[in-house]
A and B are shown apart, each in its own frame.
Chain A
Amino acid sequence: MGAPGLRGLCQTPGSPGGIAVNMSDTQWPRFMVFQQMEAGQAFVHQGTVHAPDIELALLNGRDVFVRRPNANAMFVVPADLILSKTEEEIKSGWEPGNPETGGEAQAYLVFGKLNHAMQSEQLGDVQAVSPQDAMKKALQKFTDRVVHMWWVFPAGAVLASGDKDLDSMFKPVLEHGFKNQANYPVITMMRQIKSKGKLED
């Protein structure tokens, strides 16, 4: 059995850049969930889960989003660690304030919303010393597409599923025969029962 870390419910996640949890807030912190459908494809934003820490956020992400459709990999990141800028903010002259201040350069993942009807997807990554710096570098690097909303966050703050998780987290769902609601014409069935006292064969 994988020994879980013995963390209390409200402690700071151990990952780099982990967020402090407000003990007076009864709501758990939010984590963003990103999913890769097939090996080699870009990771796509799936949604949000609440969790007491990042390990349970990954499990919650799987339970909420992977039942269907299929997935090859998943990662979660504390929502508070995402720096987000919209196309409008950038156009109206957003400038990073002191982007060079920060620690050592580290990798930041860059996500962009390319279409209003679609979720953000991964564009790539940049090396930067701060979130502001990462945003600035992302704007300089990914110029070939119109991005409606930009997200950057430290790659080191992410908790991702590994290859060994494929069998237990993502494969079983492929073998489940999900019931299609179209096969359950409940209203028609109820009409038959009411008019004839039973279902027709």
Chain B
Amino acid sequence: MDEKIKPLLANYLIAIGDDELILGHRDSEWCGHAPILEEDIAFANISLDEIGHARLWFELAASLLGEDPKTFPDQLAFYRDWDKFRSIQMAALPKGDWAFTMLRQFFFDSFENLRLEGLAESAYPPIAQAAAKIRNEEVYHLRHTAAWVPRLGLGTQESGRRMQTALEALWPFALQLGVPLAGESELAAQGLVPAADALRHKWLEIMGNAMQEAGLAIPEIGVPAVVDRSVQSEDLRQLLLEMQEVPRQHPREVRW
């Protein structure tokens, strides 16, 4: 691979890994607090899966950057300042109610499944292999959230109202999923990652149908609330203060 491409690809992987890590952390906040025991366990599973995916992408980024894949993921997760994260702002939004959490997860899982389909065809074999592995779990996440969204949307008046409220709050942030990542067109031209435009169009079409089936109306907003992934939110800063607190207080002292 061209030496100039390596850092671009590594940054792409770190960005999608950041999405997984931050969303996984938010999902973990439901542990012990979900509305029913079975869903509590299901979301703890999803949370662990997402954080595991982040680690896989960070390990691949490490090998591209000549870093140690054993230590680099922890470096990125626990010793990186909040303004260096490249996650979408939707991932860091406070967990809200169950409708909000379920819909956010559904938006993310649907987009991620499309991206993983593309990454499974990557010209860089380690990415194709990781994508195939991650996809098995994401297919299941999507089945879970795709089952819940229409049930909540059409369930009771209250569940439908909460879902519509969540949709209106989330939609402008969800649109950031479709914004091309830095260097994405160059990486796509080399067959390393899927083209952002095609992903976005397909995702919007699927979301349109899914929201209609769930009795929900997508707000007429076409512009993402935020475009640039280097612009991070106070929500992320607060999340990292908590997530990074223990490792930063005891660097290298605690074995996990």
Contact = CB atoms under 8 A, between A and B. Distances in A.
A159 to B, nearest CB: 12
Q: Chain A, interface size: which category?
A: 20 to 34
A59 B213 contact: no
Given A1-B206, A6-B213, A168-B136, A50 B38 contact: yes
A171 B42 contact: no
A77 interface: no
A59 to B, nearest CB: 6
Interface string B218-247: 000000000000000000000000000000
B6 interface: no
A56 B147 CA distance: 7
B84 interface: no
Main secondary structure of the interface of A (DSSP, over half): loop
Interface in B101-115: 110, 113
B255 interface: yes
Nearest to B133: A175
A56 B160 CA distance: 19
A9 B253 contact: no
Interface residues of B, number: 36
A51 B45 CA distance: 17
Contacts of A50: 36-38
B137 interface: yes
24 contacts: A1-B110, A1-B206, A1-B210, A2-B146, A3-B146, A4-B147, A6-B154, A7-B154, A9-B151, A9-B152, A50-B36, A50-B38, A51-B38, A52-B151, A56-B147, A59-B42, A60-B41, A62-B140, A64-B38, A67-B41, A67-B45, A171-B136, A198-B253, A199-B253
Given A4-B147, A199-B253, 15 more contacts: A2-B146, A6-B154, A6-B214, A7-B151, A8-B155, A9-B151, A49-B38, A59-B143, A60-B38, A63-B45, A64-B41, A64-B42, A172-B137, A176-B52, A189-B255
